């Protein structure tokens, strides 16, 4: 029809249209799906031109504007091409806006609860380590180091941290954060190293430094293997 009006060859018109689509002057998806020539720029300029109208309808399937731009035009009414149902812009429908706000708030609350539950879980595990330390060193506390324990547990897991804490106390007779960190880093890098001749294993640590005594040479050998300073 357009080619007849301008007295031009239909093939020439098609070439021009295809080039316009190729260079994104028109939206490719709208053209290929609905045979509609439009673009974000065209739709935005159209909405500005009809800004004084009380109601402006646009088919949902053809709409290319993002939500932020749509919300600027309070007179926009989105129509479903199949059912012809109208969806009024949220900015001119208070009930819809309130509903959207509640959904958003509910989603944010769920996310905050998820984060909070994760933090509480970490803190509980850290407190368990603090209690475990008191069984190793009665009368002493590492509660001031809960923050560091949280980081260790989040990075390496509770079981590794419990074992590393026991080894740290066995070798250093105290909680030394840097020493425990070195053990965990070495395990993560090289795998768990189990000293020969001892009953230490992953699930239950059975180094009994109160019962059987270890010579200083044995302790140094164990320490070197745990920290990766000596080949197994």
Residue predicted with more confidence, 110 or 126? 126
pLDDT digits 0-9 by tens, 12-59: 888 888 888 888 899 999 888 888 899 988 998 998 898 888 888 888
pLDDT on residue 24: 87
Angle between the N-to-C axes of helices 94-136 and 158-172, in degrees from 0 to 180, rounded to the nearest 10: 30
Contacts (Cβ under 8 Å, ≥6 apart) of 78? 57, 58, 59, 60, 63, 70, 86, 87, 88, 89
Domain edges within the chain: 2-90, 103-226
What 53-59 contacts at long range (C-beta under 8 Å, 24+ apart), as own/partner pairs, is 57/86
Cβ 166 vs Cβ 207: under 8 Å: yes
The pLDDT of 105-127, averaged and rounded, is 66
Say if residue 120's pLDDT is above 60.
yes
pLDDT digits 0-9 by tens, 53-112: 888 888 888 898 888 888 888 888 888 877 655 555 545 455 555 555 666 666 666 666
Say if residue 165's pLDDT is above 90.
yes
What is the distance, to the nearest Å, from the Cα of residue 33 to the centroid of all Cα atoms in its chain?
A: 35
pLDDT on residue 187: 92
pLDDT digits 0-9 by tens, 200-223: 444 333 344 444 455 566 666 666
Contacts (Cβ under 8 Å, ≥6 apart) of 199? 206, 207
pLDDT on residue 224: 63
pLDDT digits 0-9 by tens, 167-190: 999 999 999 999 999 999 999 998
Q: Is 212 left (phi over 0), alpha (psi -120 to 50) or beta?
A: beta
Instruction: Tell me the CB-side half-sphere exposure of residue 59, using CA atoms within 13 A.
Output: 10
């Amino acid at each position: 029809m357009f080619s007849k009006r301008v007295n031009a060859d239909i093939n020439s018109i098609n070439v021009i249209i295809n080039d316009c689509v190729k260079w994104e002057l028109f939206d490719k998806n709208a053209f290929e799906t609905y045979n509609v020539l439009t673009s974000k720029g065209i739709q935005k300029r159209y909405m500005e031109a009809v800004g004084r109208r009380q109601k402006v309808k646009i088919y949902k399937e053809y709409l290319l504007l993002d939500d932020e731009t749509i919300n600027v035009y309070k007179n926009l009414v989105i129509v479903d091409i199949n059912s012809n149902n109208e969806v009024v812009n949220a900015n001119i429908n208070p009930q819809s806006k309130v509903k959207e706000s509640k959904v958003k708030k509910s989603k944010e609350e769920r996310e905050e609860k998820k984060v909070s539950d994760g933090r509480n879980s970490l803190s509980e595990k850290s407190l368990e380590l603090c209690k475990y330390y008191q069984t190793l060193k009665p009368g002493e506390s590492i509660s001031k180091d809960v923050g560091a324990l949280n980081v260790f547990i989040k990075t390496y897991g509770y079981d590794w941290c419990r074992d590393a804490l026991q080894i740290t106390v066995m070798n250093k007779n105290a909680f030394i954060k840097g020493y425990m960190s070195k053990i965990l880093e070495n395990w993560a890098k090289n795998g768990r190293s189990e000293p020969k001749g001892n009953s230490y294993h992953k699930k239950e640590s059975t180094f009994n430094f109160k019962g059987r005594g270890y010579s200083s040479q044995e302790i140094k050998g164990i320490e070197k293997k745990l920290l990766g300073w000596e080949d197994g």
